[in-house]
Amino acid sequence: MIDPDRLPTIAAPRVLLRWLTEDDVDALFSIFSNPEVMRYWSTLPMTDRREARELLEHVHESFRRQTLWQWGVARRDDDLVIGTCTLFHFEADNRRAEIGYALGREHWGQGYMGEALEALLGFAFGELDLHRLEADVDPRNSSSIRTLERLGFQREGYLRERWLVGGEAQDALFFGLLRREWTGRSRPEILPPSAAEER
């Protein structure tokens, strides 16, 4: 099912989750250099475009090692990458993984990330046959918490001062979602390579 050279393209109503390329470096920098986007992230905002290229290289190398799968979230009408969705911390024996996501500031409040995550969860529980997904969110990040709860994630723990970012200790809320809690939702459309490459 998974091409060893690149991630599959997953379709949602207004966005595609697709393989990130060199053409997306400027978009990645725009997303991950914004202080508002990075306010509750586990690293500081980027300050140089080279960091975006290094991120892209890290994404590709991690996919080759099968330790992290990070998709670009691209608008279907113009293929512009406006965010990313990630599966990482895979535990094959327990059929478990963690999710992460980021959305460019100018695209907040339009429902794009909810669509992207719903497609990603359908892929994770369907094609990948995972049993459990987890997410770690700063308790102050109310919009991200609302997104997870709309998708069915349950609050499962509070981890005090889990992250140290720029000299600031940050707490974390831990969320979990089981496959049986997702059952009945629609499965995502996985585009064949030819259709995905045309976009």
Please name each of the domains of the chain with its CATH number: 9-133+187-197 (3.40.630.30)
Which range, of 92-96, 101-105, 165-169, averages the lowest pLDDT? Answer: 165-169
Q: How confident is the model at residue 197 (pLDDT cuts 50, 70, 90)?
A: low
In the predicted structure, residue 55 carries a pLDDT above the cut 80: yes
* CA atoms within 13 Å, Cβ hemisphere of 132: 14
In the predicted structure, residue 76 carries a pLDDT above the cut 70: yes
Rounded to whole angstroms, the Cα distance separating 76 from 85 reads 16
Instruction: Over range 139-153, report the average pLDDT.
Output: 95
Instruction: Over range 54-66, report the average pLDDT.
Output: 96
Predicted local distance difference test score (pLDDT) of residue 196: 56
Q: How many residues does the chain have?
A: 199
- What's the pTM value of the predicted model, to 2 decimals? 0.93
Average per-residue pLDDT in the chain?
93
Which range, of 42-46, 59-63, 133-137, 189-193, averages the lowest pLDDT? Answer: 189-193
Q: How confident is the model at residue 31 (pLDDT cuts 50, 70, 90)?
A: very high
CB atoms within 10 A of CB 119: 25
